[in-house]
Amino acid sequence: MRRLKIFVLCIMTLVIITLVAACNTQNQTPTQQTPTTNVTQTANNNPTYVGEQTCQSCHKKDNFDKTHHVQSFKPLSDYKLDKTYGTVTVYDGAANNAKSTTVDLSKALGVQMDTYVVAQIPQTAGFAKQYYRVGHLIKNSDGTYKIDNPGLVTGTQNWSAGDYTCLDCHSPGMGKSGTPDLTITCEACHGPGSAHVAATTDDQRKATMVMPTSETCLKCHQSDPTKDSTTGAIITTNHYGTRDYTFSKHNTTGMINGCLTCHSPHDPNASGQLLKKDNPNDICATCHAGKNYDVNTIMWKNKSDPHGHTTADHSFTAVPESATKVNTTTKNVEITDPTVLDMIKKALPDLAK
């Protein structure tokens, strides 16, 4: 009987040892589980746009709506029209006017640069593009505005809609998922904000926020010169406003924080410009102490611009005005100085091909 008890006790001890060993083995290689938060789930998917109003519920920018960025595309209701405008027939100006459709001007998406009335063309119309300049806004002498045709079909009086080629820069959110914004707002520079909005901690919010750099600005405000497709001449970039910054010592030395050294992305100065000070000369003095720079002298302005812009040269004398010549036929500002041309060709060899 005593032997039986000893045998049973040995069996029970063996079982206990086996169970403990098994438990220890499981504990030695635990499976690590990363908790999946809402922001993680959102970030793993393609982020979507949430709209300026969502951003401003936390990030108050009192003067942001006064910036030239926001003002570059405004609703048609901001303009006092000289009459009620309704439906017009427009032809596809992006495809040789091959097809036509009707557009209700009163329901247009908005107005670009106080000039072009922009509307979305129904997909059923079969137009080459989705968004078009369907009207030309013209200011009357009494302060009201009329909507005229943006162009005519060659040889006819038919109303030809122009392709809204300015969309990527002037209306970067147009047609994108989730955004109600049709002009340049927060997400144009910071990217779609759904992941940022879904974040629950400061670390997550920082991780989901794209912080703009000079490269962000230069996507629209291009700085390199271009080549005229007809004449082959190298011309300054008339349209975008950062003309020839590529060759500025500000850029080539890397000693400053690019565009954001002088420009404020959110708050306009007293003149409505996105500059950090009311007087641009004072910005120079923050780095060049004791020197008096006249911005109007070192940043020459294009005296002839086919787009009617008055933006200043940003090469800061690397490409002086004397190195350029206005072509009266094309109105291009052509770079003619051999030394400057050689500098450009060395920096941008593909342009010289």
Specify the pTM. Answer: 0.77
Distance CA 220, CA 102 (A): 32
**Would you give the DSSP letter of residue 2?**
H
Residue type, 116: Y
Choose one of 130, 148, 170: the last residue of a domain: 170
**Statement to judge: residues 347 and 247 lie in one domain:** yes
pLDDT in tens, 330-343: 888 899 999 999 99
* Ramachandran quadrant class, 337 (left: phi over 0; alpha: psi -120 to 50; beta: rest): beta
**Statement to judge: residues 224 and 343 lie in one domain:** yes
**Statement to judge: residues 232 and 301 lie in one domain:** yes
Report whether 76 contacts 110 (CB < 8 A): yes
Distance CA 214, CA 258 (A): 5
Question: Does the residue 42 lie in any domain?
Answer: no
Report whether 64 contacts 70 (CB < 8 A): yes
Give the residue among 190, 184, 191 at the shortest CA–CA distance from 170: 184
Structural tokens at position 68: 């030239």
pLDDT at 229: 86
pLDDT at 242: 81
**Statement to judge: residues 225 and 346 lie in one domain:** yes
Query: Which H or E run contains 335?
Result: strand 333-335
pLDDT in tens, 171-215: 988 988 777 899 999 999 999 999 999 999 999 999 998 888 888
pLDDT at 161: 93
**Statement to judge: residues 231 and 155 lie in one domain:** no
pLDDT at 40: 46
Q: How far apart are the first and last CA of the chain?
A: 105
Query: How are beta strands 333-335 and 324-326 bridged, if at all?
Result: antiparallel
Question: Does the residue 188 lie in any domain?
Answer: no
pLDDT at 311: 75
pLDDT at 308: 65
- If one counts the domains in the chain, the total is 2
The per-residue b/e assignment along 172-190, b for 16 or more CB within 10 angstroms, e otherwise, is bbbeeebbebbbbbbbbbb
Choose one of 130, 150, 170: the last residue of a domain: 170
Question: Does the residue 337 lie in any domain?
Answer: yes
Question: Does the residue 197 lie in any domain?
Answer: no
Report whether 315 contacts 244 (CB < 8 A): yes
pLDDT at 11: 54
Structural tokens at position 257: 């924080």
Report whether 113 contacts 177 (CB < 8 A): no
Q: 274 vs 51, 214, 262, 266, 280, CA distance in Å?
A: 22, 14, 9, 7, 10
pLDDT-flagged residues of the chain (< 50): 4-5, 7-9, 15-17, 19-44
Question: Does the residue 30 lie in any domain?
Answer: no
Question: Does the residue 60 lie in any domain?
Answer: no
**Statement to judge: residues 100 and 156 lie in one domain:** yes
Question: Does the residue 81 lie in any domain?
Answer: yes
At a CB cut-off of 8 Å and minimum separation 6, what does 163 contact? 93, 94, 128, 129, 132, 133
**Statement to judge: residues 348 and 222 lie in one domain:** yes
**Statement to judge: residues 233 and 318 lie in one domain:** yes
Q: 223 vs 229, 236, 338, CA distance in Å?
A: 18, 9, 20
Question: Does the residue 177 lie in any domain?
Answer: no
Report whether 227 contacts 299 (CB < 8 A): no
**Statement to judge: residues 252 and 164 lie in one domain:** no
Report whether 290 contacts 306 (CB < 8 A): no
**Statement to judge: residues 163 and 107 lie in one domain:** yes
pLDDT at 307: 65
**Statement to judge: residues 165 and 222 lie in one domain:** no
Which residues share a beta bridge with 147?
137
Residue type, 230: T
**Statement to judge: residues 230 and 345 lie in one domain:** yes
Task: Name the one residue in this structure whose structure tokens are 């036509």.
Answer: 100
Which range marks the domain in which residue 97 is found?
Answer: 73-170
Give the residue among 101, 102, 96, 214 at the shortest CA–CA distance from 163: 96
pLDDT at 43: 47
Choose one of 170, 186, 206: the last residue of a domain: 170
